[in-house]
Structure 1
Amino acid sequence: MAKPNYSGTFNMVSQENMDAYLATLDINFALRKIVTLLKPTKQVEHDVSTGAMKIKTITTFKNFDMDFILGEEFSEDLGPVDGRVCQTTVDWDGDTLVCVQRGEKEGRGWTHWLDGDLLHLEMRCEGVTAKQVFKKAD
């Protein structure tokens, strides 16, 4: 069965527990407050035939780009997020994208899944989970 194509532009419509998640990443109080007010847009390019993906997270404060091949480990520079570098792998679990980020923080990673025109993102670190939901732009 073919995997879903995640390509598209998605605008954030809701988020939960972001402050606690950012605190787990040791982000300072002032920056956490700024980040929790942001309404990011995600631009996803997904080449289903090669497994190449580009996920751009765009905000009025900072942007973050992630380019990878599904199933291949790579060194991810999380400098724009928390100054760390992780060994990262993103791969399929059914129709869900699961990211594992190995580094200083235990249990760090995220999961993306599609539900109609909604893109769900669940971010994890040291037992703390934050969730964001994005709606596909027309």
Structure 2
Amino acid sequence: MPASLSGKWEMISNVNFDDYMIVLGISASLRKIATKLNLKKTIERQGDQFIIKTTSTFRNYTVTFKVGQEFNEFTKGLDNRHLKSLVRWEGNKLICEQTGEKKNRGWTHWIEDDKLHLELFCEGQVCKQVYKNVSKTREEE
């Protein structure tokens, strides 16, 4: 059984985000704002359905999907594209392949050393983000 990705997460590193956004066609002014954001994720799992919320002071994005079922995704507020997405488990990694006007696009989430890792990829660019778990209260730590 794959590791649980559920919880609240706060970004602690973000490598190659600007180059990834360039490939997506995001304007220089939006990229400048986006690279300064402190992103937070909330991941909920309900059976084989996931709800992933990415929030910041600038924009929020929520995606809901069932593992193994292709779905229509609109990346509203990100790069505003309509995609066909399919998420599957590959070992301990949750992998999404997105089909649309951009080639070789998607993401991978996994847990390593109590951190949530996310790789965003598109047309040869890979952005690597790492998040720490902030679900625990101080009493639990």
Gaps of 5+ in 2: 137-141
Q: Which structure 1 residue ranges, 4+ long, deviate > 3 Å from structure 2?
A: none
Matched residues, number = 135
CA RMSD in angstroms, aligned pairs only? 0.8
Q: Which residue of 2 aligns with 1:129?
A: 126
Q: TM-score, normalised by structure 1?
A: 0.95
1:104 & 1:31 partners in 2: Cα distance?
Answer: 20
Deviations 1:57-101 (A, max 9, x none): 010000000100001000001121111010001110001000000
Give the alignment of 1:1-138 within 5 angstroms.
2-47=1-46, 50-137=47-134, 138=136
1:53 & 1:85 partners in 2: Cα distance?
Answer: 19
Provide the identity percentage: 42
Gaps of 5+ in 1: none
Deviations 1:13-70 (A, max 9, x none): 00100000000000000000100000110000012xx211000001000000010000
Q: TM-score, normalised by structure 2?
A: 0.93
2:118 corresponds to which letter in structure 1?
A: L
2:77 & 2:70 partners in 1: Cα distance?
Answer: 20
1:46 & 1:94 partners in 2: Cα distance?
Answer: 17
